[in-house]
Structure 1
């Protein structure tokens, strides 16, 4: 086949440098149907994290926004191929059994967020002792610098962390574990949905154009329908509940070199966090239901139908883009905002805190308060062998516990 003539590759047209500006102006004045269609395909990972934050109850108010079509179609692959809906942990940390010292790498989204957001909810007592340790370390560094070079102490930068701080918590006796909390993130979804419907109603009220209102209303129903699946709660808290016969203690921490460790003294209440850390997708037989898989497929197909339908909107495209813009702001807010453990379904109450510039001293203080708890942390914070003087200190603490038990047993015998 002979090559096309050069004039067919470069058709003749008038030289008009103002044409691009006119095209841009027309598009911004009234965006084409392709603009919103393309936007709907962006940001699926934000939707996944927003759903993971709020899911677990009958109402999961994640607002309609750009990215829902992308998420809904990828969720089909996740539900059918990987047998799950919940994303994995997005903060590396570990869970230590407070009795035997077994360390489990965390794969739970919930535990990851508890550790990630810890400094936002740890409270003033933990904050104050942390700052006092940092100040003590800073003062020590200044003194060392002054000894080496007089006058150089003023140039020493305040350290970002020092030593180890261990706070103690216990499961709440008034709030049930494994249920989502209703904080500002939860209510933001309902408020955003109302605002979106209000925006969508403007062209309907002004010109009788109900297309934007139809798309927004249908999309909101699909959003809430996806979040209402019971499978979210099954995966989010995929663990056993503790009882009086299983009084486990847990330590949540980022590991060696971390500033904080969160010790949870269960008293036989709450969730088995060691179980939870395994992660739903690491179970030998993840129990996703057939209904959840079929519902995810059905909702994904409806999102594709909505995508095709929305491409017919031309005259009121800006209102639809505004609706999606408000929604994506709420989604990003929900996906990234810090939450306390109760909002994530792990309600805990503050008990106390210990800390020292020397990590070993902190672990010894923990051991004196709760037997075997400090000892279980040695492997994570001191992976090597202990020195002889350190072994002697641990032997002394063990002797103290043996004496306490002996006194308690003698009291029981007398009683």
Structure 2
């Protein structure tokens, strides 16, 4: 009786409110709880089905993480075989690569932090645009994280017998990850004769290796001239930072780091652009294939997660300079609790190095004793360099080899210009002015 009264009231209210028309057509109120139970069971079934085969999630994951893939490729690129594992993010990266080659023509990423490269002989400064040099400096910084010194100057000697890349643990991690992915892809084939996961894994790995095999990576990564003579370069992030790297090119055949820091973009050839565009199309086809999977998608999700872990490790962890294609031999390290004594000690051991660094770390006024020290050191280094050039003859006057067709020679200045720049740079640079000692 109560149910009939409630139904009658709903019909009366529906005649006055169109919003309740659907409520009047519902079954008896007693059946509403069973309808709710049915809807709950349907929702729970859909959720359980999604967790059994998360095929929609795979499609979404394939289009995120493109920047991680780019940095992993930049780390290991150089030779034609680049073991960056198949993972989520390759589809996103393929479209970013198409935009890059048809835009600014560069596949290499930009440096994550700013730094400055200085030629110790000429005193020229260049803002570093090389991702390789930025990673080398970052590796030195990460190896001295626990150091409490105010300034640490690490001196290295460049080795002309360089390779495109050496196999370290990050390189081998790619091969091990690919092997683990193949094993995971074979499991559905062995259990239920489902070969789709293994096929997608094979296709993704093949496309990843094909994408990383472009010679454009090598041209951008080490696009610099070769030093014909000897040069010394300083790399630092500037005033307020703790580290500076000194690289000595003592023998001919080493890379000109000034050229490398400039990152001269030659652009991609038509073949390279077509190669990148075709790779992007193939990645889209693979994405469509993954979207149609209905069974054993957890195995493919595991394959992608393994690859993503390898990509993140390769992109994040530092590598040794020789693994980056610039082999460096450690010479010495100069550090101390105050910056000025470290620079003076560096200048005494390596002439002109401290003189160019003092302009980076002290771009204001110096004390009288500091002014006399740096003036005397620059004049002494100039005299020594002139005697050395006279004894060596004119055959070593040229510092670098012939410029590439797309480049222009860099104007060189002598030590006299460096001395003049130190003594007549910013107003009051060498004038005496009391400065607090704790800043030095």
TM over 0.5: yes
Give the Cα–Cα distance (whole angstroms) in 1 for the partners of residues 60 and 379 of structure 2: 69
Structure of greater relative contact order (alpha carbons < 8 Å, 6+ residues apart): 1
Checking the alignment, whether the CA contact within 8 Å between 1:167 and 1:262 is kept in structure 2 is yes
d(CA) in 1 for partners of 2:354, 2:283 = 52
The counterpart of 2:151, out of the listed 161, 164, 169, is 164
Q: Which residue of 2 aligns with 1:252?
A: 235
User: In the TM superposition, what are the counterparts of 1:268-307 in structure 2 within 5 Å?
Assistant: 268-280=252-264, 283=265, 286-307=266-287
Segments of 5+ residues of structure 1 without an aligned counterpart are: 135-161
Report the Cα offset of residue 395 of structure 1. 3.0
Shift of 1:121: 5.0
Residue 374 (structure 1) aligned with residue 335 (structure 2): no
Hey, what does 1:155 align to over in structure 2? none
Note closer, same or farther for the CA distance 1:406–1:290 as it changes in structure 2 (3 Å cut).
Answer: closer
Deviation at 1:370, TM superposition (A): 2.1
The correspondence of residues 10-409 of structure 1 with structure 2, limited to 5 A, is 14-16=35-37, 17-31=40-54, 33-120=55-142, 131=147, 134=148, 162-173=149-160, 175-176=161-162, 179-244=164-229, 247-267=230-250, 268-280=252-264, 283=265, 286-398=266-378, 401=381
For normalisation by structure 1, the TM-score amounts to: 0.81
Report the CA distance between 1:7 and its aligned residue: 8.1
The farther-off stretch of 89-98 and 18-27 is 18-27
Checking the alignment, whether the CA contact within 8 Å between 1:76 and 1:297 is kept in structure 2 is: yes
Q: What is the CA–CA distance in structure 2 between the aligned matches of 1:296 and 1:8, rounded to whole Å? A: 59
Distance 1:409 1:291, change over 3 A: closer
1:58-104 CA deviation, whole Å, 9 max, x = no partner? 11111000111111112111111221111111132111111122221
Residue ranges of structure 2 left out of the alignment (5+ in a row): 1-17, 27-31, 393-440
Measure, in 1, the Cα distance between the counterparts of 2:193 and 2:76: 36
Q: For residues 359-413 of structure 1, what are the alpha-carbon distances to aligned partners after superposition, in whole Å with 9 as ceiling and x for unaligned?
A: 122222222122222111122111113222211112343465478679989999x
Contact residue 98 and residue 276 of structure 2 kept, 8 A: yes
Contact kept in structure 2, 1:229 and 1:292, CA below 8 Å = yes
The normalised TM-score by structure 2 is 0.77
Q: 1:61 to 1:379 in 2, by over 3 A?
A: same
Secondary structure in structure 2 of the residue aligned to 1:313: coil
Task: Answer yes or no: is the 8 Å Cα contact 1:167–1:353 preserved in 2.
Answer: yes
Give the Cα separation in 2 of the matches to 1:405 and 1:223: 51
Give the C-alpha shift of residue 8 in structure 1: 10
**Residues 208 and 8 (structure 1), Cα distance of their counterparts in 2 relative to 1, 3 Å cut:** farther
Alpha carbons of structure 1 residues 202 and 407: separation in structure 2 relative to 1, 3 Å: closer
Hey, what's the Cα distance between the residues in 2 that align with 1:352 and 1:105? 25
Q: Take 2:381 and 2:174, find their aligned partners in 1: how far apart are those partners? A: 52
